[in-house]
Amino acid sequence: MNPSTFLSILFTLSLIFISHSSLSASIINFKLYQVVCIQYGIRVSPNIKGCLEALQSDPRIPSAENYIELSIFILEQAIKNSTLSQIFLKNMMKTDPSPAIKECATQDYTGIINAFENALANVLHDPQTAINYLHRDLGYAEGKCSAALKDDPKPYFEVNVLISHVYFYTAVAELSLNHLIDQ
């Protein structure tokens, strides 16, 4: 058996364990953020490695002891990341005040950051409401920025990259929050 076949069998086995119960996942000792990144790999995008590396950049994440902690740390990272993106966009607006950049840099990123903050405020007592903020308010702001970019004749590649980070954090935050709902 070549190493990549072996790895893919191992990977498949781990998916079976994880999909069957969180108990089995704990028997093979996955950390919680690794469980979330494997779910991300199955449901959202195959880049599990990118997910692990991004989340590990907060040293608290690998040692999160429950999904409440993990959800809080992920949302805090999301807020930090989106705040830096908004600063980048506001600087960009100084030299390129196109309608799309203005729209994203002001209203939309403010909406995105507020939605992550409202989700964070609800993790402990109402994870479903936290998810609703991600779907409704954040989805709305993100959609407006994406639509404005699409309407603009310039490609704005780097802004689309920033938006893809928002998608990433929304997806992993929701996957983590889901563990607080369907036990």
**Comparison of 25 and 71: residue with beta carbon closer to ligand NAG:** 71
What residue number has its CB nearest to ligand NAG?
54
Q: Is 81 in the site for ligand NAG (CB under 6 A)?
A: yes
The candidate with the shortest Cα–Cα distance to 18, out of 35, 6, 33, is 35
Torsional sign, CA 6, 54, 175, 69: positive
Report if residue 133 touches ligand NAG, rule: CB under 6 A: no
Angle at 169 between CA 71 and CA 114, to 5 degrees: 80
Residues 6+ apart with CB under 8 A from 105: 86, 89, 90, 92, 93
User: What letter would DSSP give residue 55?
Assistant: H
The yes or no reply on residue 89 touching ligand NAG (CB under 6 A) is no
Question: What residues between 140 and 169 interact with ligand NAG by CB under 6 A?
Answer: 165, 168
Q: Does 170 sit near ligand NAG (CB under 6 A)? A: no
Contact between 103 and 96 (Cβ < 8 Å): no
Binding residue for ligand NAG, selected from 9, 13, 84, 181, defined by CB under 6 A: 84
Burial (CB count within 10 angstroms: exposed 0-12, middle 13-18, buried 19+), residue 137 = middle
Q: Which is nearer to ligand NAG, 25 or 163 (CB)?
A: 163
**Candidate list 25, 38, 54, 149; residue touching ligand NAG; CB under 6 A:** 54
Size of the site for ligand NAG (CB under 6 A): 5
**Residue nearer to ligand NAG on the CB measure, 85 or 122:** 85
Token output for 51: 């997910």
- Residue 37 contacts ligand NAG per CB under 6 A: no
Q: What's the chain's length in residues? A: 183
Residues that bind ligand NAG (CB under 6 A): 54, 81, 84, 165, 168
